[in-house]
Structure 1
Amino acid sequence: MRITNATPADLDLLLTFRKEAAGWISKLGSDQWSRPYPANRLLATIEAGTVFMLRDGECTAGTITLTPEAEEGLWSAEELDEPSMFINKLTVARGYAGRNLGGVLLDWAGDRAYRAGAKWLRLDAWTTNTRLQRYYLDQGFQHVRTVLEGSAVNGGPRVSGWLAQRPTRPAEHDLSDETPAPEPLRA
């Protein structure tokens, strides 16, 4: 399998991935991703070069977003002073479930973050999705805290404020990485 940057041509596929994931998550009892994601926001992240695709021949097996930008209001000033990269929108196509591709993508992201000079790979997960939280703990992340207030979108309760991190590190994986080398983080 190979990992590539997403292109604007991947937008519809990524939106479909999200709908597919939301349907699966709903069957597990979570309301995560129940609201459609704005296509223009997703396109902006694609154009920023922060969305990556896991390709299996002509099929797309998964996707991950990796960015040096933290969502506002989640991490403390002291934490933001530490070089970090942030993951979100990790999604594996249901036809590829059960193969630990999410873990492979997390390892790839941790390696890429390490090569960019980050100390931490961080994420925020759905506050009520305990299965997802357990998944990240099983992937070596440590829970930092849960932020329940201060949604940047509507000022109401935050739905994605379960914060976790793990140290970045070089990783061995079988992916053919077709992405450009990561840019060093700004000090």
Structure 2
Amino acid sequence: MLAMRPATPEDQRALAAMIQVRSEWMKSKQLPNWSSWGKHVQELAGNCSRRGGEMWVLVEDHRRIVGCTTILRTAAPWAWTAAEAGEPAFYLNGTVTDPAERHRKLGTLIADWAVDRAACENVTWVRRDCTSSALAAYYEQQEFKLVREISTVGGRTSYALERRAQRVPEVAVWLISGIPTPKLAGRSRTPVTGKRSNVVEAARFLSRSWNGAAEPTMSM
């Protein structure tokens, strides 16, 4: 059985282990930027004990952590307009899943859970942004709409995406039974690896945002 619950400081060791496994899996597949994941394992896992964001973990049978994400309420000023920033929204950051479970589309499940939870809390949007065109395309497979592309400092391009909050009744079935999402949703969602890693930016932003600093909001 799968369930989403708030992360606690006691989860840090298990989160670090999962993120490390993700890094090693990327290395074994010769995927780019695997070393960035490895260098920032502890920093990313440590977000479970920092204030200012809501880190959630996806657990199997109430024990094993197989995924995580963090919900922030503050928009990146270069990705979203002042009017958009004034709208109620979740900003997803630091989404990581266990590569051994990738056939279950857990990243899609986490995204659908966030959309459903936002609707329950009368939040209008679920948003995320990244610096990888391939990752942006993956998010579009999860029904996020590309809002804009932005040129940022250093010559990078950021992709801002959003999905309107709505109830997703299937989420309750997936989280209770652990049924893989494609069987219910009927959508083909194959994970895509980005050309540029967002780990460094996400780690820095998530760490500093809890101390009141403005940094880029990136999703994984």
TM-score under structure 2 length normalisation? 0.65
Deviations 1:3-49 (A, max 9, x none): 11111111232233333334444536432771533746753554436
Task: Tell me: CA distance 1:59–1:41, structure 2 relative to 1, closer, same or farther (3 Å).
Answer: closer
Q: Secondary structure at the match of 2:127?
A: strand
RMSD: 2.6
Aligned to 1:171: 168
Aligned to 2:199: none
Deviations 1:102-145 (A, max 9, x none): 111111111111222221100012x2351x22221111011112
Which structure has greater helix proportion? Answer: 2
Aligned to 2:8: 7
Aligned to 2:67: 62
Aligned to 2:198: none
Task: Tell me: CA distance 1:32–1:164, structure 2 relative to 1, closer, same or farther (3 Å).
Answer: farther
Contact 1:7/1:47 (<8 A) preserved: no
What is the CA distance between 1:62 and its match in structure 2? 1.0
Q: Secondary structure at the match of 2:104?
A: coil
Please, which runs of 5 or more residues in structure 1 have no aligned partner? 151-155, 177-187
1:123 corresponds, among 123, 128, 134, to 128
2:46 corresponds, among 43, 48, 58, to 43
Aligned to 2:214: none
Task: Tell me: CA distance 1:21–1:72, structure 2 relative to 1, closer, same or farther (3 Å).
Answer: farther
Deviations 1:36-69 (A, max 9, x none): 3374675355443611111112211111111212
TM-score under structure 1 length normalisation? 0.76
Q: Give percent identity, aligned residues only.
A: 26
Greater mean alpha carbon deviation, residues 41-50 or residues 99-108: 41-50
How many residue pairs end up in the alignment?
168
Q: Structure 1 residue runs of 4+, over 4 Å off?
A: 38-42
